[in-house]
Amino acid sequence: MPAQRQSLRRRLLGALAVAVHRAALAALAALPRPRGEPGGDRVRVLLAHAWGMGGTIRTTLTVTAHLAERRDVEIVSVIRRRDHPFFRFAPGLRVTALDDVRRRGPLGALPSVLVHPEDYAYPWCSLRTDIALVRWLRSLDGGVLVTTRPAFNLLAARLAPRSVVTVAQEHQHLGAHRPRLAADIRRHYRRLDGLTVLTADDERDYRALLGGARTRVACIPNPLPRADRPVSNGEAQLVVAAGRLTNQKGFDLLIEAFAEVARRHPGWRLRIYGSGPERARLQAQIDGLALQDAVRLMGRSRNLGAAMAEASIFALSSRFEGFGMVILEAMSHGVPVVSFDCPNGPRSIITSDRDGLLAAAEDVGALADAIVALIEDPERRRRYGLAALATAREYDVEAVVPRLDRLLAELSGSAR
């Protein structure tokens, strides 16, 4: 559906859908919540679709696999749409699904009223999903519930039993949320026990938003999984980018910038890895700029690390980012990163003129100039690549997950 028609539909129906959602959730929240004794080390992590692909899914699987080495951990997937997971589940990690949409019943055709309509997970869910979610939430007794997106964070804040320690995760900066969702975040996140965010800027913003609330806000970045990673030699005339082909990722801006790069250095190539709804439009842009020999849309790859290691530069052109896990992945292969200084993730990872370069947000000319600067200085590329490896090591799973483990233990202790 074209963006203009989609926007019109949202303007006409969005407010009504949010009003119905708020009324339904308020009615359920007014019911007596099950009581029990707080405590217990069991951790349940609520994820939208554990069998799918995406940064939040991959990060959650990495974190839970590490936590499961010392805790009783279970991933609860709200929906299941695939027979086999895109990312491998760690041996012994329990993963269950509340709503298996491979077998749709009549309630699966009706829209959700409990999942917030302005959360991007809303189209995946249904009235059947709602029933499964409510039954599961009310069955919990003690332990910790970790939720991984705003719609589920709000459900935990309003409906989780009082014996359960609720810890929400935010994978986007505050300004990225749609207005009515942001209003409900402001109103209800203060009921949570904990909130983890990905950058120091996010920590500052959410603490200001929740000023005076009991909710503990902690900055815990996404970790890199354990892996043996090939390292780039920095010699190939190749720039790589990766991500969902959506407006957020700004590949249209990158293609426009690379037209200038290709004019100045015609031997260099750009490969963009990922799939998504913008593919046809991006291919048309490539064709219109006569860049067919210089720019290729590669589709998604199960071995993105090897593709990164072939490159000499990684480019990130997002209009906004929650964190930018793909930056760390590129750095872990010794590839310097050129990125827009968009809110909020890139500047928290990249130290400009040390392990990469930051260009002014959405400034196509500045992005092109930054890529050209590294193309024209191989020694600088090598130096930044070595620094990028050192930066990536700071985000190893062994360094990051213990911070989350301590937070869960402290909040559980406070509840007891």
Please state the rounded mean pLDDT for residues 375-382: 97
| pLDDT 10s digits, 260-318 | 999 999 999 999 999 999 999 999 999 999 999 999 999 988 889 999 999 999 999 99
Q: What is residue 40's predicted lDDT score, i.e. its pLDDT?
A: 72
Per-residue pLDDT, 291: 98
| Confidence at residue 34, expressed as pLDDT on a 0 to 100 scale | 77
Per-residue pLDDT reduced to its tens digit, 33-48: 877 767 678 999 999 9
- Dihedral angle of Cα 187, 190, 194, 197, to the nearest 10 degrees: 40
Three-point CA angle 27, 32, 35, nearest 5° = 140
CA dihedral 322, 341, 396, 238 (to 10 degrees): 110
The topology (CATH level 3) of 238-393 is: Rossmann fold (3.40.50)
HEC secondary structure over 265-306: CCCCEEEEEECCCCHHHHHHHHHHCCCCCCEEEEECCCCHHH
Beta strands in 200-347 (DSSP E): 216-219, 238-242, 269-273, 295-299, 313-316, 337-340
Coil, strand, or helix at residue 171? coil
Look up residue 338 and give its two tokens.
């050129």
One fold for 33-224+397-415 and 238-393: yes
Peptide bond into 303 cis (omega under 30): no
**Strand ranges in 9-135 using DSSP code E only, listed in sequence order:** 43-47, 73-80, 94-100
pTM attached to this predicted model: 0.87
Residue carrying the six token digits 């593709």: 307
**Quick one: DSSP state of residue 239?**
E
Q: From 182, 210, 169, select the one nearest 119 (Cα to Cα).
A: 182
For the chain, the domains span 33-224+397-415, 238-393
Please tell me the class of the 33-224+397-415 domain.
alpha beta
Whether residue 8 has pLDDT greater than 60: no
Q: Is the pLDDT of residue 403 over 70?
A: yes
Angle between helices 150-159 and 3-30 (to 10 degrees): 10
Residue labelled with tokens 């990163």: 337
